[in-house]
Structure 1
Amino acid sequence: MTDFSKDVKIFKALCDEKRLAILEHLKGGEKCACVLIECMDMGQSALSYHMKILCESGIVTGRQEGKWTHYSLNQKGSEYAAKRLLELTTPDIQA
């Protein structure tokens, strides 16, 4: 039986409007959590919750700088997520 645990994390990250909006912001490049808090109009704890899910999926990475975390899209994680979606939704062709 296939282990879908990694897939579950990816699709959980993509099934929330706020997380999709965060991804949209990160398309423009790395953002400090302080910037995301302001542009997303949410509190630090709410942003932290969403960023934890995005980072666990592998689609986003974070790096600490002082007291703030800076987030960016992870190209390998994004490519893997796109690949899995395609694999899971492409019908098997029986010869």
Structure 2
Amino acid sequence: MQPLRGPRQQRLLGAFKALADPTRLEILRLVKAQTGPTCVCDIVDHFELAQPTISHHLKVLKDAGLLVQTRVGIWSFYVSDPGNAALLEETRGLLA
């Protein structure tokens, strides 16, 4: 078996690494369950963690391409990246 070296494979590995943390997995599930953008304040209210800790987890998810951030004034909102469906299909192809 050959190692994963291309940019798409590296993105996939980054997503797996980001989702290996249970808090980040729950954050992604929470954001995906919303019908619109989710405010960081609402995400913080869902967990018993400090706001800077949640912000760190959100940055990891954003850097992995799993969330998209929008800023409105001092507020940050997150939505699930629409490319996640393609990422799941790619995962299925690698595991087949």
State the 1:59 CA deviation: 1.5
> How many residues in Structure 1 have an aligned counterpart in Structure 2?
89
Structure 1 gaps of 5+ residues are 91-95
Q: What SS does structure 2 have at the residue aligned with 1:70?
A: strand
Structure 2 gaps of 5+ residues are none
User: Which of the numbers 15, 18, 22 marks the counterpart of 1:17?
Assistant: 22
The aligned residue for residue 48 of structure 1 is 55
State the 1:46 CA deviation: 0.7
Counterpart check, 1:74 vs 2:68: no
**Contact 1:59/1:73 (8 A) holds in 2:** yes
User: Which of the numbers 41, 46, 70 marks the counterpart of 1:39?
Assistant: 46
Aligned-residue identity in percent: 24
* Runs of at least 4 residues off by over 4 Å: none
Q: Give me the TM-score of the superposition, normalised by structure 1.
A: 0.83
> Alignment RMSD, CA only?
1.5
Q: Give me the TM-score of the superposition, normalised by structure 2.
A: 0.82
